[in-house]
Amino acid sequence: MLPDIQLSRRGGVIEFGWGHPDLPLLPVAGMAEAAALALTRDGPHALAYGAEQGPGCLIEQLVTWLARREGVVPRPEQLFITGGVSQALDLLCTLLTRPGDVVLVESPVYHLALRIFRDHGLELAPVTGDADGLRVDALADALDALRRQGRLPRFLYTAPTFGNPTGATMPLARRQVLVALAQANGLTVLEDDVYRELWYDAPAPPSLYSLAPARQRGLAPDGGVIRLGSFSKILAPGLRLGWLLAAPDIVQRCVRSGMLDSGGGVNHFTAHVVAAFMALGLFDPHIEQLRGVYRQRRDALLAALTQYMPAAAAWQTPGGGFFVWVQLPEGCDSAALLPAAEAAGVAYVPGARFCADGGGARHVRLAFSLLRPDELAEGARRLGDVVRGAWCVVRGAWSVERGCL
Ligand SMILES: Cc1ncc(COP(=O)(O)O)c(C=O)c1O
């Protein structure tokens, strides 16, 4: 039988690799109610070719919803409905870049965004991050280096809030410096903000978009921040629905693209259903429920890592999102270790896949969103055993090298 969904799980293996929302948490009953409302209320309008910018019913809901969160009230002409962040990135690459162009990418960052950029023939210039997200001094250096080569990056891609894979969040002060640096250099910033609502300790700092001067948010043809939101993690990824907040001229460039002209607004029916879901008052309570469940899973994984990983491994507490980024002890290579881990019944994504700067060899990304607390504990135990075993070998080799054995 052909697969129905992307997610696949191997029997006997605890899969830390998939950063997907958990299936039992997808709001099936609420969506059924919302779909019925959309069809009775909007009739054939819900099933027609949609307005290129996205249906007014969803844009209106989003303006109100975002105004409560962004600190700035978006105007409808600053919003464009997308097929999720992935489609938005693909469309922006089509509109803003040509093959051979260079783009700046945070490192580490969401590895599948890098795939989309590579699909467009773009050259990736990495900007290294630390525990607080992308390093602004590294961005300044990267801009200087490109300027010396006479090259202009088309944009910077960053996920500054509960990022994938690190879970790191850029503090407010660094956000302000980043926005100022981008402004001074006429650099367009693509802010991938899919995890913003999934905070477990305290709400996220203001988005880069909201910190940008009004000129950059609303008017400037070049530079400025384009904020990418998605319903994938906070509602359901199968909806293939998200939004983009940007200067109206960027929205207009999206609206006027050939794909939208031919096909109309992206995922028009789904957008009607989500607008109805929001109108029914189901959205915020649903997100609140997700926070509760995922917070418990994050805490279960952190507690199990503390119990089972060797002391020489290290990680940070992610304030939100789906991931813990674990640094293995010195000498361990996460890609080389994966077959042994899988044989022991645990899987993860090796860190190098997220790093355009050649780093990440000692890191693993663990996703906790799909696993129950008991599975998280057992997975951490298995991983701890594998890492401890590998580390003993590494230390043994050192000891032999240094004549200690
Ligand atoms: C940082 C980040 N951006 C984007 C996506 C994909 O978003 P969407 O489903 O809206 O295309 C993911 C999914 O894992 C992600 O982690």
The confidence score (pLDDT) of residue 94 equals 97
pLDDT at 399 over 60: no
Position 330 confidence tier, pLDDT thresholds 50, 70, 90? very high
Q: Which of 110, 169, 231, 243 is the best mutation target for the ligand 1 pocket, counting ligand atoms within 8 Å of the beta carbon and taking the most?
A: 110
The confidence score (pLDDT) of residue 216 equals 55
Domain definitions of the chain by residue range: 28-282, 284-396
d(CA 229, ligand 1 centre) in Å: 9
Q: Are 246 and 227 in contact (CB under 8 A)?
A: yes
What does the pLDDT look like over 5-31, one tens digit per residue? 888 889 899 999 999 999 999 999 999
pLDDT at 344 over 70: yes
For the chain, percent of residues with pLDDT exceeding 70: 95
3-class state of residue 137 by DSSP: helix
Assess whether the previous peptide bond of 206 is cis (omega < 30° from 0): no
In this structure, which residue's CA is closest to atom 5 in ligand 1? 85
For residue 145, what are its two tokens? 């280096």
pLDDT at 405 over 50: no
pLDDT at 217 over 60: no
Rounded to an integer, the average pLDDT of 129-154 is 97
Ligand 1 atom with least separation from CA of 242: 10
Q: Who lines ligand 1 at CB under 6 A? A: 19, 84-86, 110, 159, 164, 192, 194, 230, 232, 237, 242
What does the pLDDT look like over 267-311, one tens digit per residue? 999 999 999 999 999 999 999 999 999 999 999 999 999 999 999
Amino acid type, 274: V
d(CA 94, ligand 1 centre) in Å: 18
pLDDT at 70 over 80: no
Q: What is the mean pLDDT of the chain?
A: 94
Cα separation values, 290 from 213, 285, 330, Å:
33, 9, 36
d(CA 323, ligand 1 centre) in Å: 13
In this structure, which residue's CA is closest to atom 4 in ligand 1? 85
Closest CA to 73 of 171, 217, 176, 196: 217
Ligand 1 atom with least separation from CA of 237: 9
Quote the CA–CA distance of 161 and 296 in Å, as a whole number: 19
Amino acid type, 272: H
**DSSP β-ladder status, 14-15 and 346-347:** parallel
Output the CATH code of domain 28-282. Answer: 3.40.640.10
The architecture in CATH of the region 284-396 reads Alpha-Beta Complex (3.90)
Q: Are 159 and 110 in contact (CB under 8 A)?
A: yes
pLDDT at 392 over 80: no
Rounded to an integer, the average pLDDT of 155-160 is 98
pTM: 0.95
Laid out side by side, the sheet with 188-192 consists of 79-82, 242-245, 224-230, 188-192, 156-158, 102-107, 123-130, 133-134
d(CA 230, ligand 1 centre) in Å: 8
d(CA 194, ligand 1 centre) in Å: 6
Q: Which of 81, 86, 195, 294 is the best mutation target for the ligand 1 pocket, counting ligand atoms within 8 Å of the beta carbon and taking the most?
A: 86
Rounded to an integer, the average pLDDT of 194-204 is 98
Q: Are 389 and 381 in contact (CB under 8 A)?
A: no
Q: Which residue is it, tokens 């996920």?
A: 159
For residue 246, what are its two tokens? 């940007």
Bigger pLDDT: 84 vs 74:
84
Position 389 confidence tier, pLDDT thresholds 50, 70, 90? confident
Quote the CA–CA distance of 397 and 399 in Å, as a whole number: 5
The confidence score (pLDDT) of residue 215 equals 58
- What angle is formed at CA 138 by the lines to CA 178 and CA 212, rounded to 5 degrees? 10
pLDDT at 158 over 50: yes
Q: What b/e sequence results for 98-135 when a residue is b if at least 16 CB atoms lie within 10 Å of its CB, and e otherwise?
A: eeebbbbbbbbbbbebbebbeebebebbbbbbeebbbb
**DSSP states of 275-328:** HHHHHTT-HHHHHHHHHHHHHHHHHHHHHHHHHHS-TT-EE---SBSSEEEEEP
Instruction: Give residue 2's region: left, alpha or beta (phi > 0; psi -120 to 50).
Output: beta
Closest CA to 107 of 320, 366, 323, 351: 351
DSSP at 199:
B
pLDDT at 60 over 80: yes
Cα separation values, 183 from 90, 174, 220, 224, 342, Å:
24, 14, 10, 7, 46
Q: Which of 5, 112, 207, 322 is the best mutation target for the ligand 1 pocket, counting ligand atoms within 8 Å of the beta carbon and taking the most?
A: 112
Rounded to an integer, the average pLDDT of 51-57 is 98
pLDDT at 222 over 80: no
Rounded to an integer, the average pLDDT of 36-61 is 97
Q: What b/e sequence results for 182-205 when a residue is b if at least 16 CB atoms lie within 10 Å of its CB, and e otherwise?
A: bbebebbbbbbbbbbbbbbeeebb
The confidence score (pLDDT) of residue 288 equals 98
Q: Are 134 and 178 in contact (CB under 8 A)?
A: yes
What does the pLDDT look like over 245-269, one tens digit per residue? 999 999 999 999 999 999 999 999 9
pLDDT at 50 over 90: yes
Rounded to an integer, the average pLDDT of 212-226 is 65
Sign of the Cα torsion 90, 92, 94, 96 reads negative
The confidence score (pLDDT) of residue 268 equals 98
Q: Which of 191, 230, 365 is the best mutation target for the ligand 1 pocket, counting ligand atoms within 8 Å of the beta carbon and taking the most?
A: 230
Lowest mean pLDDT among 67-71, 102-106, 124-128, 339-343: 67-71
